[in-house]
Chain A
Amino acid sequence: MEFGDGLELGLPCVHCGLCLDTCPTYKISGSEAASPRGRIYIMEAIGAGELAFDDEAAGHLETCLGCRACESACPSGVDYSRRIDEFRPRLAASKRRSELWRKFSRRLHGNTRIFDVGLKAARVVDSLGLRRLRRRIPFFSLLPGRTASSNGVELSPLQRSNVHQPPYPRARVALLRGCIADRAMPGLNRDAVEVLQRNGIEIVELHDQVCCGALDLHEGRRSEALALARANVDIFSGALQRGEVDFVVSTAAGCGAQLREYGKLLGGDSDYREAAALLSERHRDICELLVELGFEKPRAPGATAGGKAGALAYHDACHLLHGCKVEAAPRAICEAATGTAPLDLGENSICCGSAGTYNLQQRTMAGRLGARKAELARISGAGVIAVANVGCMLQLSRALDLAGLRIEVRHPIELLAQAYRGSPGAKAGPEAKR
């Protein structure tokens, strides 16, 4: 059967409504205009000339988190993110965004200085005891500050002496550093390196990698996003094709999910189609890779894992769960690191409100989603929440802070690295699967 002009957008939406209740913005607002089915309907109506593309219509689309929970729920296989991404350039062109925001966001990925300056300032403010206040200021509120106390993200010093390239690597990987992760949480990438190497996986440094482009795509700067995608394909797929690396690994689910979209994104570019598909296919989230290849279980799990009393709860990052369909692996990492299966935070398929730059733009909705998570965290009684994405870590930390909860937020890989350090000398080889 011919789908006609709907074809380039993938399978049609049959208006069944099964996606409604998985959508965070619908759950919170109750408005179907803020639901996946509603947004698709609005986009189609605009496309068909039945509806004006005005501030109101744009507003309903802009409150979309891009969390892709609707895709996991949709039995028809509607490619929601593709539809909204196609629409984003129009959203960006509409005069709704302030010029200031546009300038700011444009610089966000390229210019890491914003982060460095922001981070320094955040630490100073926090040291003056003003953290709760800072948590209310846009952008600034999200940065991890002084981390001596509970919620910040620990910037553990890299123990260089422990880092060796394995003599007989089981796999060679390139690490996608992620521009925000690299600035906001350098400790995480160091932990990742340590964990991978301890498991006999060699890290091949690939220089010149650029931002994954998720932010640009989200902001409707499609051509910039494509340019970044091509640059990364050149670097990573080149190394894959030459056999220099077996996988490309990320610690930030947002960047990882974007890499997996490259195949589709560059599907129309005959020069890049195959190389992009290769990169998408060989991308692995770090937890996923470790579970796939088999990893060493720490001898003294939990010894230093949480640091605090209270159980560990795991929360799914949307881009990992819905974007990469990775669900079990990070839980397995948490379990190995702490010795017990993590609790579920509840509403695991529901976004925390982080969603790229969403929490900088749609602050009310993001705040409400964050508060909802904080409440679930309180009910769960957890002392530590593990989540495998930097954006979510920052958003959850802020939400917990604002709710006055002293609950730590950690990446599963940090927990594992810490558990390894707590079981020194463990030389037991990983249970290799290949």
Chain B
Amino acid sequence: MLLDTAIKKRLRDIVGPEGMVEGAAALKVYECDGYTLEKAKPELVLLPGSTDEVRRVLCELHGAGIPFVPRGAGTGVSGGCLPAGIPVMVGSSRMRRIRSIDLDNARAEVEAGVVNLEISRAVAEHGYYYAPDPSSQSACTIGGNVAENSGGPHTLKYGVTLNHVLGLEMVLPDGELLRIENNGEQVGYDLLGIVTGSEGTLGVITAAIVKLLKKPEAVATLLAVFPGVLEASRAVSDIIAAGLLPAAMEMMDAMVIEAVEAAYGFGFPDDAGAVLIVELDGLEAGLDAACVRVVQACEGQGASEVRRAADEEERALLWKSRKRAFGAMGRLTPAYCTQDGVVPRSRLPEIVEIIAEVSQRHSLRIATLMHAGDGNVHPLILYDDKDQSQVEHVIMAGNEILGACLDLGGSVSGEHGIGVEKIALMSQAFDQEALQAMADLRAVFNPSGLCNPHKVLPSDRSCMEVKRPGPRGGG
């Protein structure tokens, strides 16, 4: 217990009673995020309402030497918010103002707690949108997106969060306010690039200036049905080899199809071994011709059916099915663990075979979802959270798949971050020197180490007071 009543009172004076979460039941809720394999309860959750409150809170915590962890909506799936050995959590859920929308320069300044989809909603009537579209976009925050450098199905063509952030306002762990802006050409070091993807280890992001894009003139969404994942992943390479750059190429295997079909009833054929969703956008002219080439590529790999979404309604339902696929897994299993690995696109068929082998060896059902265009695979390992021996196999299976991604020349995280989940894999992915360089960089922003310790980089203090899930933890 690090927090005494005196400091609690000072913090309360800053954030007000509505910004203090301190009851036992409420704190329990914050013991994990979307990653439920590990849990730890914070002593206090603070929900400041403004940048100034964040600044004063961090000054106070810095003065008292108290570690803290930033939190957005808690949809992260690598345990980035896990407060293990961290008494205080600083949430952005009461910082939800859209500060300005500047359509002339196609940008908006929003507070960190603004939900991703809200930005697109706010500018939709003018024909604009915010491009990065993580599947969790109806709930996750811009602060969380920047911290994780989140991507989404449309990353293939439009890039990740970093490509859409023009500036950041953040508070450093000692309470200093920092504004980083990139007005056009990058002059000097790319600080935005350092903070984006730093997983809450460099300070608390309080606002972001984001790019707005004009909606494309035309969109075509195709659904191709394959006998299996292998054929579908080969078709992905063929589409790219044909010189096309789709806005998105997403793959779901039979198990995922079963779950989303139960949830949304899109009407996927029940004998589908895998489906590929290919979206093309851009100018009206030439779109039809591009569609024909996609159809050819898919049929060349044995697609039994390729159809184009007839209208906006069908297109929306298709995307809803895809974007909510993670959540829909609850229809098949009491719990699941989402993995996130990357392989060079051409090696997708190989990782597919490895996943099947791992699944068999550990007797675990593994459903697979892919941002196939980026070579980003999401194996979803289904398990029963009440079965302790299964939990261990889940962790082993996950590590084996990610290890294989590295062996194939890929990476251990496409978009979900390292958090606590993948710390062990960092030493596999990087040598000691590289890890030290990263630690040094972190120390420039976060010299005290108070901000989100024990995350991302392996540390000698990795003896975390982490609780494994109990018999019925509700994960």
Contacts and interface: CB of A to CB of B under 8 A. Distances in A.
Given A15-B36, A15-B475, 14 more contacts: A11-B330, A12-B335, A13-B474, A14-B327, A15-B474, A21-B115, A30-B19, A32-B93, A41-B29, A41-B474, A45-B25, A45-B473, A48-B474, A77-B263
Nearest to B49: A30
Interface string A6-49: 10000111111111111000100111110101101110110110
13 contacts: A1-B334, A14-B335, A16-B136, A16-B327, A18-B327, A20-B74, A30-B94, A32-B74, A33-B25, A48-B472, A52-B25, A75-B328, A75-B330
Contact of A73 (B115, B138, B326, B382): B138
A73 B33 CA distance: 18
B81 to A, nearest CB: 11
A76 B329 contact: yes
A168 interface: no
Contacts of B472: 5, 44, 47-48
A30 B36 contact: no
Given A15-B34, A75-B324, A38 B29 contact: yes
Interface string A399-414: 0000000000000000
B139 A11 contact: no
B259 to A, nearest CB: 9
A4 interface: yes
A7 to B, nearest CB: 10
A158 interface: no
Contact of B474 (A40, A56, A75): A40
Interface string B31-56: 01110100000000001000000000
B138 A21 contact: yes
Q: Is the interface of B mostly helix, strand, loop or mixed?
A: loop
B474 A76 contact: no
A325 to B, nearest CB: 13
Contacts of B471: 48
A220 to B, nearest CB: 18
A37 B74 CA distance: 10
B25 A56 contact: yes
A57 interface: yes
Interface in B304-351: 324-336
Nearest to B32: A15
A432 interface: no
Interface string B17-28: 011010111101
Contacts, number: 150
Nearest to B263: A75
A177 to B, nearest CB: 35
A77 B262 CA distance: 9
Given A33-B21, A41-B474, A76-B331, A17 B34 contact: yes
Given A30-B93, A31-B93, A17 B25 contact: no
Contacts of B91: 30, 32
Given A5-B472, A17-B34, A17-B75, A51 B330 contact: no
A21 B335 contact: no
Output the residue of B24, B29, B326, B336 with the most chain A CB within 10 A: B29
A56 B20 CA distance: 14
| Interface footprint category on A | 35 or more
Interface in A41-91: 41-42, 44-45, 47-48, 50-52, 54, 56-57, 60, 73-78
Contacts of A42: 25, 28-29
B45 to A, nearest CB: 8
B94 A1 contact: no
Contact of A78 (B26, B93, B115, B330): B330
Contacts of A4: 334, 386
Interface string A322-344: 00000000000000000000000
Nearest to B326: A16
Counting from the closest, the 8 A-B pairs by CB-CB distance are A76-B330, A75-B327, A75-B324, A44-B474, A33-B26, A30-B93, A57-B25, A30-B94
A212 B455 CA distance: 53
A79 to B, nearest CB: 11
Contacts of A11: 330-331
Contacts of A37: 29
A382 B22 CA distance: 42
Nearest to A1: B333
Contacts of B470: 48, 50
Contacts of A73: 138
Given A30-B94, A40-B474, A51-B24, A1 B18 contact: no
Nearest to A47: B472
A334 to B, nearest CB: 21
B24 A52 contact: yes
A76 B474 CA distance: 14
A56 B23 contact: yes
A83 to B, nearest CB: 11
Contacts of B68: none
Interface in B279-311: none
Given A5-B472, A30-B94, A32-B30, A14 B330 contact: yes
Nearest to A10: B330
Interface string B105-136: 00000000101000000000000000000001
B384 interface: yes
Contacts of B33: 15, 17
B384 A1 contact: yes
B21 A76 contact: no
